[in-house]
Amino acid sequence: MYAPPVQRLITELGKLPGIGQRTAQRLAFHILRADAEDANALADAIREVKERIGLCEICFNLADEARCRICQDERRDAELICVVEEPGDVIPIERTHEYRGRYHVLGGALSPIDGIDPEDLKIAELYARVATGTTGSAPPVREVVLATNPTTTGEATALHIAAALRERAPDVAVTRLASGLPVGADLEYADEVTLGKALVGRRAL
Ligand SMILES: [Zn+2]
């Protein structure tokens, strides 16, 4: 129906989350109408983010260096680790200004139905971080806050990690965000007051 380059653009745009066929067409025509400069800026931004942004070697948050800004910040409490599903979950927690520890980004949640098992997430890396704290080669971890989403998969992931940590590192406190967050919704949609209260009121698991 369209010239192949136009069809290709529509197809690629249509792969983005929440973008249906009609929206993909609308965006493609917007790009076709745009100045070459604006269109190239979009293409360059996509290319640059893929070339320059990787995962932090410690916490697996997004980083443009080997370590993310939070892991590089000596003022952040290294004895406290907040576990989240996605890099996008770090931002809402930071916005609450209630948290001064470090993070650990799992890269998703356990979901056997979708074939997502512990090996597919950065779970072993979390245990390794906690373990290096107990051997003295890094600051000891005092508490692990499980801030996975209040969804079925997020809860299952939190329980899985809590059980393993109790066995591997019984001296480390394992906590979960207090209830009050909208059940079934992702952390990134929680408002900062609610999320801040959930952090302050976190409870032992
Ligand atoms: Zn990091």
Answer yes or no: pTM beyond 0.85.
Answer: no
Q: Using an 8 Å Cβ cutoff, are 45 and 35 in contact? A: no
Q: Using an 8 Å Cβ cutoff, are 82 and 106 in contact? A: no
- For 108, phi and psi rounded to 5 degrees? 140, -165
**Cα(4) to centroid(ligand 1), Å:** 42
**Cα(71) to centroid(ligand 1), Å:** 4
**Of 172, 167, 116, 185, which Cα lies nearest the Cα of 146?**
172
Tens digit of each residue's pLDDT, the chain (205 residues) = 899 999 999 999 999 999 999 999 999 999 999 999 999 999 999 999 999 999 999 999 999 999 999 999 999 999 999 999 999 999 999 999 999 999 999 999 999 999 999 999 999 999 999 998 766 667 789 999 999 998 999 999 999 999 999 999 999 999 998 777 776 677 877 788 888 888 888 988 8
Q: Distance (Å, rounded) from C-alpha 45 to C-alpha 34?
A: 16
**Of 64, 71, 74, 75, which Cα lies nearest the Cα of 90?**
71
**Cα(22) to centroid(ligand 1), Å:** 39
| Extended strands (E) in 17-94 | 54-55, 62-63, 77-84
Neighbours of ion ligand 1 (CB under 5 A): 56, 58-59, 61, 68, 71
